[in-house]
Amino acid sequence: MLKLVCPYCGIEADETELVSGGEAHLKREGPDSTDDDFEGYLFLRENPKGVILERWRHAMGCGKWFHVARCTVTQEVFGTYPAQTFKPPPRIMEEIKSRRTGQENGLNSDKAEKFS
């Protein structure tokens, strides 16, 4: 079972106490965006075999949204951090780099570059 530490209340919550919110750090497109950009914002999501940054809500606890860096293959969690950030904190990126080498199991190279 997936267990995540809520960065707000510090509780290690079981998956059953949480609600998944999908991919983190999406750029919200507005009314001035192109149709392709808006379609991408609404429908296109990453589904990597490896590390992903995603949103979770501590629904049965404090109710707040937070972000998680986790591996979709092994369920290994690299850390959690508050949702009010535009990119993962350096300690999360360092944790991913220290435990994962090679592109196959690491964070998508475009994402890794975007957040470095």
Query: Using the 8-state DSSP alphabet, how is residue 90 labeled?
Result: H
For Zn ion, the binding residue among 6, 18, 96, 107 (CB under 5 A) is 6
Residue 19 engages Zn ion in binding (rule: CB under 5 A): no
For Zn ion, the binding residue among 50, 51, 53, 58 (CB under 5 A) is 58
Residue 18, Cα to own-chain centre: how many angstroms? 14
For Zn ion, the binding residue among 8, 38, 41, 65 (CB under 5 A) is 8
Of residues 42 and 60, the one with the C-beta less far from Zn ion:
60
Q: Report the SS3 class of residue 1.
A: coil
Q: 77: exposed, middle or buried (C-beta count within 10 Å: 0-12, 13-18, 19+)?
A: middle
Which of the stretches 35-43, 59-67, 77-85, 104-112 binds Zn ion when contact is defined by CB under 5 A?
59-67
Query: Which ranges of 1-116 would DSSP assign to H, the alpha helix?
Result: 35-43, 90-99, 109-115
Distance CA 17, CA 15 (A): 5
Residue 57 engages Zn ion in binding (rule: CB under 5 A): no
Residue 68 engages Zn ion in binding (rule: CB under 5 A): no
Interacting residues toward Zn ion by CB under 5 A? 6, 8-9, 58, 61-62
